[in-house]
Structures are given as structure tokens and as C-alpha cells.
Amino acid sequence: MAAAGGGWAAACEKFRSARTLSAVESRKDPETEPYRSKYSARALLQEVKQQLSAAEDCGEARLLAVRRAVLEYELGVNHTDTEELSAGEEHLQRCTQLLEPHRLTRDCVSLYIQAQNNLGILWSERDEIQTAQTYLESAEALYNQYMKEDGNPPLDPSEHFMSEEEKLTDQERSKRFEKAYTHTLYYLAQVYQHLEMIEKAAQYCHTTLKRQLEYCGYCPVEWALNAATLSQYYLSKQCFMESRHCLAAASVIFSQAGQVPSAEDSETEQDQQDLRQRKAEIARCWIKYCLNLLESARKLLEDNIGELDPDRQLELKAQRKKEEDEKENGRKKAVLFGSSDICDSVLAMEEKVSSVYPLDFQEAREIFLVGQNYVQEAKEFFQVDGYVTDHIEIVQDHSALFKVLAFFEEDYERRCKMHKRRIDMLEPIYADLNPQYYLLISRQLQFELADTYYEMMDLKVALGNRLEELDSHTIKKINSLAQLAIKYYELFLDSLRNPDKVFPEELEEDVLRPAMVAKFHIARLYGKLITSDSKKQLENMQMSLEYYTFLVDYCEKHPDAVRAVETELELSKEMVGLLPTRMERLRAKLCPFI
Amino acid sequence: YSFSVEGDAIKVYVRVRPPSEGTALTDGDQGLCLSVLSSNTIRLHSKPEPKIFTFDYVANMETTQESVFSSVAKSIVESCMNGYNGTIFAYGQTGSGKTFTMMGPSDSDNFTHSLRGVIPRSFEYLFFLIEREKEKAGSGKSFLCKCSFIEIYNEQIFDLLDSASAGLFLREHIKKGVFVDGAVEQVLSSAAEAYQVLTMGWRNRRVASTSMNRESSRSHAVFTITVESMEKNNDIVNIRSSLLNLVDLAGSERQKDTHTEGLRLKEAGNINRSLSCLGQVITALVDVGNGKQRHICYRDSKLTFLLRCNTILHCSTRLPGVAPNLQIKLTFVAAFLKQDSLGGNAKTCIIANVHPGSRCFGETLSTLNFAQRAKLIKNKAVVNEDTQGNVS
């Protein structure tokens, strides 16, 4: 028996070495022999296994089975780690078979769950996601059942090869067990994503993040970035409360990262730079939050010509009042991140910006200002020199913030000034940008500049209509805005030409609508140009007609295009019918005797 | 203000190597998993139905190195002289003849060997054309050739011409586009010199052996030659510059290579970086977001960054039905294609190497699928247009 005891100590020692080789040493293996330590670990584990089977007759059957299961588990993981899946599967299967009768007991439940986690990984590597799903879901169910029926901190698998005095504390056991379960959820999040069960995947991502916070198993920067990214998922679902909560938590947790310098590597300049970049990334998620909230509100409030609908506004305000009275307890407990003190900081962060639709200019402006602050913060890192694409994207967002704010502005003069701000930020960037490398952005800017001038012209026309008579200053202004809009639409259309400067016979699907809208708007713009010179007016009408005709002809040749521009086409057809008569009349006026 | 809407689609060439001597003898004809039907079709003996693939060119086992060069690279080198950018990608499983096709037989001086590959031949041809051009134009025209050689491994960029350098960074310039900040540029004066630089750098690449496959590359390598020509005409100086990129994609069997995994669930076993791919999962969820404005934080991947800098292809590379691991490589290819082809001034081809042995069936299928998909990559642009705007 003494000899057996000695043998046991040696076995424990070997087991421990194998674990260290696998987990620690293997990270230092040379790139040319990535699995050297894993192979050594495997050899050790096999020795222990042989030793165990030699000692078969002397021990207690259950104890032996569990120990064997631990070894099978380790061997299984080792083989899958080294890309030998079939062998890995055999070991893991043997592990679960050995444990099957005891899987709900305190010394086996954790090992069983981890074996199933690994079987899940293994099957996913064989592209059999559904099989992986069954293993993981059964691990999830086992956890829940164990917590319901027993709930005591279970043994960690490694304890089966430890002497009594080395055994873990209950606190440590619980921590490791919960971690294994967190991994189950984390793998399930991936499974659901692969199976395109998006909502479920999001829910499991959320829960994983939540558990990471609870059990302190996270790196603040990474966690914050994940939460910020998750907020963007909620944005696409129009769940602004959840989105804001994720962002607020991201900002709070991120601020921890700066305070706790990582012990391992001293902060290099590169780390600092990375940290600044992450901060800017989170700021950009906030910008999108503000933008989406404003834009969703606009969609609720606008009438059929895109203006603020006052009746709708009153109606929504009344509805909100009613909801506020009922709500208060509306917040779902499940979505909350963090324990009490983190939670308080998150709530404080949330209070800085609303998560309900703004219904008037004041409310919209508050959200706009928050967004604008984040624009400044993001731009500090993403400077144009080195980060062209990112920088321009941020400027585009800034412009979009102004655009949607302008919707809430009732004063046309002030609204026009907001659009002018957009021009001022976009035009210089556009001028510098090399379209050879940034064609897409270049086109976006052309189109947006054109649209902005177009909108400003419309506002000036509306302002002019309030006057008794158009003064020459207003006329000049309207004409120059219209000319600038035409210029940028034309630049956009030119960018579609091939190297031989020929406009394509058939437009690619993704530029079809923008190109047609550009043509249509140019047609309208020529119609809006004001001149007292009848000859000039005739020329403008001629231009207008040509562009309207393009639309009509194109859609005749390509009936598929009709769907994309139904309204525009209808109006164009009408104009193509009307314009020649009007031009005829004008010509008659010009030369009454012919 | 004119550039093409649509770059040339990628030209795809497939080359079938002869089976290694041992396998051909023992397995006989039964051992082959494919047959070349014509100079552009190949049949894969898949079950239950055989599958026919069509490519721009299929080189069978007898095709010579010279002929591969002529049909694949010659026109690319020529257009490079005319100011166009050119890119040649090599793709395939270890042992499929990738190195033979690109470099030539191993363990010998490839540069003079009669079986030398596409790369040395391209160098020769390039410098031959330069010399000819110089003679024609006399003193009025001069050329400057420079090269750089970088490797993308494990999400980091390394300079293969400067083994002491740490990771490099991709940056953007408003006029010059994307570039690798700090990469060494070496001036080249002859084809032999170019080849020497390439082979030196090639040895610095990260390769690995496991018990399952003997040696395979885990990195993407990009060798770039910049050809600058300066022509003086009276007082006018005309400068033209073009790039020739030679890209060696990570071995297709290295599924474990960084982001190339397909459906595999990312393990969280590693103590320090647990749950590290949660972000990727969330990103994927956000990616689906129906046209809503959103920001995606993760661009650690150099490949993704390259792609994002070249946003145009963002949508067109999301091809339906493409396995994610292929998707990543396509993305990489697409990033290059787009960067170059904006002015309608780029030529791109992929050489996909396959081994005909039936044991390689899985890999060959995956390579052919990849090559097939690569043909679909096109240069597309999207304009964010506000469709809410009123038209009245």
C-alpha cells in the first residue's frame, strides 16, 4: 500500500507537469514546432493512464472511473489542440461515458460540463454546428439542473490529482465552475451566430459579458469594446435603452483600464496609442447612437414631404407622457450590467443622454450636442493624416448630425446656416481627396455636397416665396446654390464614366438609384434657375427636358430600373409631356412673328 | 474625373501538378480526383455527381513553366510598364506545386534554372522591357525600380527585408491611399538582384511543422515592385508609377491561421485571453444590421483594415454561400484588387495550384471553390443616398 501511495504521488506529479506543459510551457514553443510541449504533455498523461490501469484491482471503482475520466478529458483536449480530432473525440467520449452515471454529483459535474464544451468545439471544427449545439445545450441544461438540485461549489477536475492539503477553497471552486459555464454560454453564442439565430446569439453575448463582470474575468478594454459593439446591435434593432446601457457600461469599464496599469507589460507608447484608439472607437459608437436616435425620431415625426408634422408631434408627446407615468419599473432587470458600484456609475453615465425619441428642437439639440462632443473626441485620434477613411467617416457623421438637427429647426434662415456648416466641413476634404484611392468616399461626398446645396436652394426658394417680390440678392443666391448643386451632381455622374469617359449603357445596381436621382435633381435644378433672359430660360428648359428624358428613356430600355425610381419616373414623364408645350409658348413669345 | 465603375474581374488560372511518383504508381488512374477537360475546364470526380469548373486557363500536368508564365504573367508585366498596377496571387495547399510554379524547383539556383518559375521570369521580362524602353527613348527616359517585401502573420505586419523590425502599421494618406508605414524599400537595378532580395526575404517567412503536415506557411507574403518612369520632353517632366504585387497567400490547409477558421468555435482555454473572440461574434451580429448606421470597433485584423480602407468591396465580397474561411481570403484578395483597380488601371490574377491525388480531394475542392468565387469579385461602389428625402 505504501508503494501504491508513492506511485500515486508520482502520478499526481506527472499530471501536474502535464498541465503546466500544456498551459504554460506550450506558449513558449518555437513557431517551427508549435506543439512540442503539448506532445510532451500527452506522453506524460499516457504514462499516468497506464499506471492507473495497472492499479486497477486495488482501488475503489468509482474513484478510479472518475480519475480515468479526468485523464481521458485531458488527453482529449490535448489531441484536439494538436489538430488530431478523431483521437480527441474518442478520449472525450470515453470521458463522458465514464462520468455518465455520476454527472450530477459534486465531483463530476464540472468535468462533465467541460468535456461537453470541448465536444462542442470539436464538432464545430468539423463544420457540424448542430451536433456542437446539442453538446453545449446539454451542458447548459446540466449546469441549471445542478444549481437547482445541489448548488454547492463542485470540485474542479484538477483536484482529482491533488493531495488533500492542496485542495481548493470553495470560493475558488465556485469561480472555476462558473467560468466553465460562462464558456458554455460563450460557445453557444457562437453556435447561434453560425446558425443565424441572431437574437439568441446576441442574448448569449450579453449574458457572457454580464457574467464576465460578475466573476471579474475580463480585460477592461476588451470588455468595453465588446459592450460598445453590442450597443450597435441594439441600435439596429431600435432598442435605444439597451444600446445606451451597453455604451454607458463600456465607457465606465473603459475608464478602469486607464487607472489600472497592466502589471505584466509596462505601458509602451504603442499601448497608449492603442488605448487612445479604443477610446475613440467607443466615442464613434456613441456618435452612431445619437445619430440613430435623432433619425428614428425624425422618421416618426415627418410628413409626406419630409417636414415636421406638428399634429404627429403633439400626438407623440401625449403618448410619451402616458408611457412615462406607467413605466418607471419598465427596465428589465436582465439587461443590467455590473454590481452595485459599477451599476451606479453606469446609471450616472446614462443620465447624460436620453434614450427616448426627441420630439422638438430643444430635445433634439441636447442629443445633437452629445453627439458633437463625441465627434470631437473621435477626431482627436482619427486624424486625417494616417486615418483618412475613419476621419472622413466621422466628418460625415458630424454632417449627418447637423442634417437631422436641421429637420427640427423651424427657422429657415437658421436651418440654412446648419446646412452651410455641413458644406464647410465636407468641401475641403473633398477637394483634397484622391479619388483614385478613395472612389467610394469621393462619390459619397459629391452626392452629399450636391444634396446639401440642393436643400439650401429649396430653403432659399421657400424664404423667397414669403417675400412680396424676389430681390436680386435672393435670386443670385438661389441661382448660385443651384449651380453648385448641379456641379456636384455632375461630378458624381462623371465618376460613373469608364476610362474612355463614356457613361455606362447600363448602370450597376448599387449606383442605379443615386445616378437616377442625380439626373432627376439636375433636371429640377435647371427648372429652378431664375433668369429674366428668355433665351437663357429656353436653354435651361431644354437642359431640364434632356435630363427628364434620360430618366424616361433609360427606364424604357431597362424596365428593371423602374422599381428604384417610381416617383421620379412618374414626375419625369409628366415633365417630358409638359415641357415642350411650355417651350413652344416661350419660343412664340420670343419670336412672335414666326 | 473619370474612373471605372467596375474593375476587371480577377483572372483565375488553375494549375494541376503531376502526382508525386510514388502515388501514381500505386494508385493508378483511380488515384486521381480530377481530370483536365480542356484548356479552361476541369472536372472534379466528386460524388454523386462530378463537378465541372471553368476558369480562364487550366494548365494540365504537362504544361511547361514557360507556357504558364506566358499565359499568366506576361501581360501583367507588360501592363505594368504601361503604368497599370498588376497583382499575381498564388494560392493552394502545401505540396500542390505553389512554390514550383512561382519560384521554381527548390534546392537549386532558381534564377538560371530551366524550370524557373513565374517570379524569376517576370523579373527578367520586366527588366528586359525596361532596357528596351530605355534604348528606344535614349537619355530622355529613366526608370527607378524599388521593392518591398512584407508578411502578414497573426494579424501583424513584418518587414521581411528587415528582420530586426518589429510590427509595422498600415496607414492612410489622403492623396496616396493605403501604405505600410516604415517598410524598407530597396532599389533594384537588375532582375537577378530582384530575385536575390526575394529569396532572402522568403527565408525569413514563418513556416511551421506539425505532426499532421510537414511544413506549411502560416503567413501571407506580399512582394511589391514599384516601377517609376520619368520622361523629359522639352521642359515637361512626365512621371509615371505602377506597382507589381506578388502575393503568396497562407497555405490553404492552414485553417487554424488567425482568422481563417470557418465554423470552429473559438476556444477560451487560454488563460490570459479568455473569451477573446466574443467581439468577433458580436461584430458579426452587428454586420447583419439592415442598413442602419453603426460603427464596428474591431479592425485589429490587418486584412480587414486593408479592406475597410478600400470600402468599395465591402459588400461585393460578402458572397452568399461562401464559407467564412474562404471569405477571409477573398476579402484579402479583394482588398488588393480594389486598391489597384480604381482607375480601371489594374490587372489581377490568381494562380490556384492543385494536387490531383484523390487523397487531396477535400483540399482540391476547397481550392477550386475559392478560385471560382474569386472570379466573382468585382469592384463596386455604393453611395449612401438618403432615400427619405422628398422629391417634390
Please state which of the ranges A28-32, A244-248, B145-149, B248-252 shows the lowest mean pLDDT: B248-252
Interacting residues of A336 by C-beta distance below 8 A, sequence separation 6+: A245, A343
CA nearest A287: which of B293, B114, B6? B293
Read off the pLDDT of each residue in B15-43 and give the average, rounded to a whole number: 75
A194 vs B177, B263, B295: nearest CB: B263
Residue A469 has pLDDT above 50, yes or no: yes
pLDDT at A435: 78
pLDDT at A389: 86
The H or E element spanning position B34 is: strand B34-36
* CA-based nearest residue in chain B for residue A506: B5
CA angle A552, A556, A560 (to 5 degrees): 110
Testing the interface with A: which of B171, B258, B288, B297 to mutate, by most A Cβ within 10 A?
A: B297
Read off the pLDDT of each residue in A425-450 and give the average, rounded to a whole number: 89
Query: Pick from A410, A438, A471: which residue ends a domain?
Result: A410
Q: Which three cell numbers stand for residue B237?
A: 517632366
Q: Which three cell numbers stand for residue A21?
A: 506543459
CA–centroid distance for B363 within its chain: 18
Alpha-carbon gap, residue A501 to B1, rounded angstroms: 9
Highest mean pLDDT of the ranges A18-27, A122-131, A412-421, B290-299: A412-421
Q: Is residue A434 part of a domain?
A: no
A305 vs B262, B381, B392: nearest CB: B392
Quick check: B265 and A494 CB within 8 A? no
CA nearest A574: which of A505, A511, A524? A524
A451 near B CB under 8 A: yes
Please state which of the ranges A45-49, A51-55, B48-52, B161-165 shows the lowest mean pLDDT: A51-55
Q: Is residue A504 part of a domain?
A: no
Band of pLDDT at residue B155, cut at 50, 70 and 90: low
User: Which chain B residues have a beta carbon less than 8 Å from that of A205?
Assistant: 278, 281-282, 285
pLDDT at B305: 47
Quick check: A222 and B174 CB within 8 A? no
Structure-model confidence comparison of residues B112 and A584, the more confident one? A584
A233 vs B286, B311, B345: nearest CB: B286
Alpha-carbon gap, residue B343 to B224, rounded angstroms: 19
Strands B169-173 and B57-59 turn out to be unpaired
Residue A503 has pLDDT above 60, yes or no: yes
Quick check: B212 and A84 CB within 8 A? yes
Residue B214 has pLDDT above 70, yes or no: no
Burial of B237: CB neighbours in 10 Å, binned 0-12, 13-18, 19+: exposed
Residue A461 has pLDDT above 90, yes or no: yes
Read off the pLDDT of each residue in B73-80 and give the average, rounded to a whole number: 88
Range of the domain at A539: 518-593
Band of pLDDT at residue A582, cut at 50, 70 and 90: very high
User: Which chain A residues have a beta carbon less than 8 Å from that of B253?
Assistant: none
pLDDT at B366: 80
Alpha-carbon gap, residue A450 to A419, rounded angstroms: 11
Q: pLDDT tens digits, residue range B267-286? A: 655 434 456 677 777 887 88
Strands B85-92 and B346-354 turn out to be parallel
Average pLDDT, chain B: 72
Residue B110 has pLDDT above 70, yes or no: no
Testing the interface with B: which of A130, A243, A437 to mutate, by most B Cβ within 10 A?
A: A437
Q: pLDDT tens digits, residue range A304-360? A: 888 999 999 999 999 998 887 776 555 555 567 877 788 889 999 999 999 999 999
* CA-based nearest residue in chain A for residue B215: A32
Structure-model confidence comparison of residues B128 and A164, the more confident one? B128
Residue A316 burial (CB count, 10 A):
17
Read off the pLDDT of each residue in A125-154 and give the average, rounded to a whole number: 93
Q: Is residue A379 part of a domain?
A: yes
Residue B255 has pLDDT above 70, yes or no: no
Q: Is residue A74 part of a domain?
A: yes
Residue A397 has pLDDT above 90, yes or no: yes
Alpha-carbon gap, residue B182 to A534, rounded angstroms: 62
Interacting residues of B277 by C-beta distance below 8 A, sequence separation 6+: A190, B266
Alpha-carbon gap, residue A548 to A551, rounded angstroms: 5
Q: Is residue A175 part of a domain?
A: yes
Residue A232 has pLDDT above 90, yes or no: yes
Quick check: B342 and A299 CB within 8 A? no
Interacting residues of A241 by C-beta distance below 8 A, sequence separation 6+: A331, A335, A355
Pair (A242, A347) in one structural domain: yes
Query: Pick from A410, A430, A458: which residue ends a domain?
Result: A410
Band of pLDDT at residue B141, cut at 50, 70 and 90: confident
User: Which chain B residues have a beta carbon less than 8 Å from that of A522?
Assistant: none
User: Which chain A residues have a beta carbon less than 8 Å from that of B304?
Assistant: none
CA nearest B4: which of A433, A439, A515? A439
Quick check: B278 and A191 CB within 8 A? no
Structure-model confidence comparison of residues A69 and B324, the more confident one? A69
Burial of B239: CB neighbours in 10 Å, binned 0-12, 13-18, 19+: exposed
CA angle A522, A525, A529 (to 5 degrees): 145
Strands B186-188 and B41-44 turn out to be unpaired
CA nearest B223: which of B306, B153, B154, B161? B161
pLDDT at B207: 64
Alpha helices by DSSP H, listed for A309-360, are: 310-326, 340-350
C-alpha atoms less than 13 angstroms from C-alpha of A457 in its C-beta half-sphere: 26
User: Which chain A residues have a beta carbon less than 8 Å from that of B277?
Assistant: 190
Pair (A534, A584) in one structural domain: yes
Average pLDDT, chain A: 90
Read off the pLDDT of each residue in A57-64 and give the average, rounded to a whole number: 76
Band of pLDDT at residue A34, cut at 50, 70 and 90: confident
CA angle B258, B264, B265 (to 5 degrees): 95
Q: Which single residue is written with the C-alpha cell 435672393?
A: A474
Band of pLDDT at residue B96, cut at 50, 70 and 90: confident
Interface of B with A in 160-179 (CB under 8 A): 171-178
Global confidence as pTM: 0.80
pLDDT at B310: 31
Query: What CATH number has the domain bearing residue A88?
Result: 1.25.40.10
A367 near B CB under 8 A: no
* CA-based nearest residue in chain B for residue A498: B4
Interface of A with B in 381-410 (CB under 8 A): 384-389, 397, 400
Q: pLDDT tens digits, residue range B173-195? A: 888 777 788 889 999 999 999 99
Pair (A556, A526) in one structural domain: yes
Residue B3 has pLDDT above 60, yes or no: no
Asked if A305 contacts B392 with a C-beta cutoff of 8 angstroms, the reply is: yes
CA nearest A26: which of A17, A504, A287? A17
DSSP for A352-389?
TS--S---SHHHHHHHHHHHHHHHHHHHHHS-TTB-HH
Read off the pLDDT of each residue in B380-391 and give the average, rounded to a whole number: 38
Helix (H, G, I), strand (E, B) or coil at A323: helix
Q: Which three cell numbers stand for residue B196?
A: 536575390
The H or E element spanning position A148 is: helix A129-149
Q: Is residue A510 part of a domain?
A: no
Read off the pLDDT of each residue in B11-29 and give the average, rounded to a whole number: 70
Query: Pick from A410, A426, A446: which residue ends a domain?
Result: A410
Read off the pLDDT of each residue in B251-257 and give the average, rounded to a whole number: 49
Assess whether the previous peptide bond of A157 is cis (omega < 30° from 0). no
Q: Which single residue is written with the C-alpha cell 417680390?
A: A469
pLDDT at A590: 81
Pair (A185, A278) in one structural domain: no
Residue A561 has pLDDT above 80, yes or no: yes
Pair (A214, A251) in one structural domain: no
pLDDT at A362: 97
Residue B386 has pLDDT above 60, yes or no: no
CA nearest B40: which of B23, B9, B63? B63
Q: Is residue A28 part of a domain?
A: no
pLDDT at B178: 73
Residue A366 has pLDDT above 70, yes or no: yes
Pair (A72, A109) in one structural domain: yes
Strand partners, B228: B144, B241
Structure-model confidence comparison of residues A263 and A241, the more confident one? A241
A121 near B CB under 8 A: yes
Q: pLDDT tens digits, residue range A165-223? A: 889 999 999 999 999 999 999 999 999 998 999 999 999 999 999 998 888 778 899 89
pLDDT at A484: 98
Residue B326 has pLDDT above 50, yes or no: no
Interface of A with B in 478-517 (CB under 8 A): 491-492, 494-499, 501, 504, 508, 510-511, 513-514, 517
User: Which chain A residues have a beta carbon less than 8 Å from that of B297?
Assistant: 225, 228-229, 278, 281-282, 284-285
pLDDT at B282: 81
Pair (A172, A225) in one structural domain: no
Residue B203 has pLDDT above 90, yes or no: no
Provide the residue count of chain A. 594
Alpha helices by DSSP H, listed for chain B, are: 21-27, 65-72, 74-81, 98-102, 118-137, 191-203, 278-287, 302-309, 313-316, 324-341, 361-374
Pair (A234, A296) in one structural domain: yes
Q: Tell me which DSSP letter residue B171 carries.
A: E
Count chain A–chain B contacts defined by CB atoms under 8 A.
248
Asked if A453 contacts A423 with a C-beta cutoff of 8 angstroms, the reply is: yes
User: Which chain A residues have a beta carbon less than 8 Å from that of B388?
Assistant: 298-299, 302, 306
Quick check: A299 and B388 CB within 8 A? yes
Testing the interface with A: which of B256, B287, B293, B369 to mutate, by most A Cβ within 10 A?
A: B293
Pair (A283, A147) in one structural domain: no
Band of pLDDT at residue A424, cut at 50, 70 and 90: very high
Dihedral angle of Cα A456, B292, A283, A324, to the nearest 10 degrees: 90
Strands B156-159 and B207-208 turn out to be unpaired
Quick check: B211 and A35 CB within 8 A? yes
Pair (A205, A347) in one structural domain: no
Q: Is residue A464 part of a domain?
A: no
Pair (A230, A128) in one structural domain: no
Quick check: B294 and A235 CB within 8 A? yes
Quick check: B207 and A120 CB within 8 A? no
Number of domains chain A contains: 3
A35 vs B210, B278, B279: nearest CB: B210
B275 vs A32, A212, A497: nearest CB: A212
Alpha-carbon gap, residue B81 to B79, rounded angstroms: 5
Read off the pLDDT of each residue in A271-285 and give the average, rounded to a whole number: 92
Band of pLDDT at residue B264, cut at 50, 70 and 90: low
Strand partners, B53: B42
Q: Give percent of chain B above pLDDT 90.
A: 17
The H or E element spanning position B11 is: strand B11-16
Pair (A134, A188) in one structural domain: yes
Residue B387 has pLDDT above 60, yes or no: no
pLDDT at A33: 84
Please state which of the ranges A401-415, A420-434, A547-561, B129-143 shows the lowest mean pLDDT: B129-143
pLDDT at B295: 87
